[in-house]
Structure 1
């Protein structure tokens, strides 16, 4: 079972026990007092936690989140973490992400390309605890390897690999093996698990910086 920090609990919503973080709700999710439901069907990281992967969030003092989109998952991360840098390439979801960040003083949206970490290295601090990546692009391993510079010693990578973004024609397991092999340039993989049925053709990967 994942080691959940104080800012995450398992609470009952609509008769089901689900993950929740304490913070301002976004996009109409169910709430219970000051807790907001973390829907695994809308969040790859949520699905990794629900699947019981070997994730350690107890030291999430500083986080770099790649592929923040409109802010659904990264808002949950910012609820329990320290400084959270949210990189998103597309202007439209960035507008929504900026709205989400208004209620979170520790969430810093960056309109940048995760494939080009030099463009935000002057903003993002080094020695971070967590790198969370959900980027739908070819070369997902290279993105993770190039951004490892921001992790401190023994920093953790939480990666959602989207097989169809790498090769829409290849067998997903073949894609997953290839991406994981490339990750070993900078990381030691400690856990991997398919995210079906919440997210088809996705693999969750937990790894430590070498």
Structure 2
């Protein structure tokens, strides 16, 4: 039974062409589905668009803005101050978008994620710390339907705009990933947390009943991560090397999901080491793969296939794959299920017992 091969990658429209792996030929195991990029109107209400061209509905291209139009959801180039109010990381900047009757919030098919529909559409998460922005992102307050008529007693819910040009996880959702396995109450290990931009949205999604263990190696980014976590009790910041999970083993419990955005050639091995240590049996990993960081001389499709094979060797069952165009070039997100060996199960059981006793 031969390994499934890559078909041509999908284009930027709709859910893309049928990029990814074909199902296994003999019917056993079923392979997993891969899909093309998420341009067009894919991903729950957003209009797609190229990265260099004008303006995507709700977000700037990340490189230059169109001279015409201009809703209050427009993004700005990466790394630049965002929002009219400015404000440093963790400040109150970012400015709010007008809510009111013209703006409607609808739940996304993924729990904990929402879509704001108004003059412009946007992917949002419910702000766990109302009134605070993390990285200058736009915010929108929606009046609750059952609030009283008097102005003094009206209640609102605040949402934070999640820009897929600045978050691999948001890009995967926009590209049409079936399930990111991050949900209210989930326990998530986030590898490659950087300054906490995406981590803050994961914090919103899992809510007060969940927890996010955020690992970042860079001390500079780690300072921003620590600052963000001070206002979010469900975030545990860890400034350490994800290659050595034993160093932070006493801080991390058994988790439901591992999300990895570690741009390293040995990312599959890093994820496997953390999964063997912390991921529950039948838990899931969601891995963002940057082809150039793994092998800059090979075609992206070949790189993605190679990483998937590495995951299979480490007791993972690949479920699906999506490419991240037009949000990221030569990137893919792979979702896989973890099947722990009997030896690993025994070790985790002993570790859990030790943690409970301590």
Q: Is the 8 A contact 1:137 1:166 kept in 2?
A: yes
Unaligned runs of 5+ in 1: none
- Residue 201 of structure 1 is matched in structure 2 by 330
Greater percentage in helix: 1
| Structure with more relative contact order (C-alpha pairs < 8 Å, separation 6 or more) | 1
CA displacement 1:143-198 (0-9 Å, x = unmatched): 11111121112111111011111112221111111011001122111110111110
Question: Judging changes above 3 Å, is the alpha-carbon distance between structure 1 residues 12 and 23 closer, same or farther for their aligned structure 2 residues?
Answer: farther
- Residue 187 of structure 2 is matched in structure 1 by 62
TM-score normalised by L of structure 1? 0.93
**What is the CA-CA distance between 1:206 and the residue it aligns to?**
0.9
- Residue 154 of structure 1 is matched in structure 2 by 282
RMSD: 1.7
Q: Which stretch shows the higher mean deviation, 17-26 or 40-49?
A: 17-26
Q: Is the 8 A contact 1:68 1:134 kept in 2?
A: yes
Q: Is the 8 A contact 1:187 1:207 kept in 2?
A: yes
- Residue 21 of structure 1 is matched in structure 2 by 126
CA displacement 1:118-166 (0-9 Å, x = unmatched): 111121102x111000001111111111111211121111110111111
Secondary structure of 1:58's counterpart equals: coil
Q: Is the 8 A contact 1:23 1:36 kept in 2?
A: no
**What is the CA-CA distance between 1:22 and the residue it aligns to?**
2.4
- Residue 42 of structure 1 is matched in structure 2 by 166
Distance across 2 between alignment mates of 1:14 and 1:110: 40
Alignment of 1:70-89 (within 5 A): 70-81=195-206, 82-89=210-217
**Larger Rg computed on CA atoms:** 2
Q: Is the 8 A contact 2:124 2:159 kept in 1?
A: no
Distance across 1 between alignment mates of 2:212 and 2:225: 13
Unaligned runs of 5+ in 2: 1-42, 44-107, 142-157, 340-358
Count of residues in correspondence between the two structures:
208
Secondary structure of 1:144's counterpart equals: helix
Matched, 1:186 2:315: yes
- Residue 139 of structure 2 is matched in structure 1 by 31
Greater percentage in strand: 1
Distance across 2 between alignment mates of 1:170 and 1:39: 29
Question: Judging changes above 3 Å, is the alpha-carbon distance between structure 1 residues 48 and 122 closer, same or farther for their aligned structure 2 residues?
Answer: same
**What is the CA-CA distance between 1:16 and the residue it aligns to?**
2.0
Q: Is the 8 A contact 1:132 1:159 kept in 2?
A: yes
**What is the CA-CA distance between 1:50 and the residue it aligns to?**
1.3
Q: Is the 8 A contact 2:259 2:287 kept in 1?
A: yes
Q: Is the 8 A contact 1:54 1:190 kept in 2?
A: no
Q: Among residues 280, 296, 300, which one is paired with 1:168 in the alignment? A: 296
Secondary structure of 2:232's counterpart equals: coil
Q: Is the 8 A contact 2:175 2:323 kept in 1?
A: no
